[in-house]
Amino acid sequence: MSFEFGISTSLIPPEIQLRWAGESDQAFLRALYRTVRAPELALTPWTEGQKQAFADSQFALQDSHYRAHYPGALFLVIEHQGDPVGRLYLGTAPGPLRLMDLAFMPPWRGRGWGTALVRAVVDRGDREGRDTVLFVEANNPAYRLYGREGFMDEGVEGVYVRMRRSPSVLRLAD
Query: How large is the average pLDDT for residues 54-67?
Result: 96
Question: What's the number of domains the chain is made of?
Answer: 1
Within a 13 Å sphere around the CA of 108, how many CA atoms are in the beta-carbon half? Answer: 21
- Asked if residue 136 has pLDDT above 50, the reply is yes
CATH code: domain of residue 17: 3.40.630.30
The predicted structure's pLDDT at residue 88: 98
| pLDDT tens-digit series, residues 11-41 | 999 999 999 999 999 999 999 999 999 988 9
The predicted structure's pLDDT at residue 1: 62
The predicted structure's pLDDT at residue 3: 83
Cβ atoms within 10 Å, residue 14: 7
The predicted structure's pLDDT at residue 170: 54
For the sheet with 16-20, list strands across it: 16-20, 74-80, 83-91, 97-104, 132-137, 160-165, 152-157
The predicted structure's pLDDT at residue 171: 46
The predicted structure's pLDDT at residue 81: 95
Question: What's the pLDDT band for 139 if we cut at 50, 70, 90?
Answer: confident
Question: In this prediction, what percent of the chain has a pLDDT beyond 90?
Answer: 89
Helix ranges (H only) for 4-158 are 26-41, 48-69, 113-128, 142-148
- Using DSSP's 3-state secondary structure scheme, residue 79 falls into strand
Residues of the domain holding 49: 3-173
Q: Is the separation of the CB atoms in 126 and 133 below 8 Å?
A: no
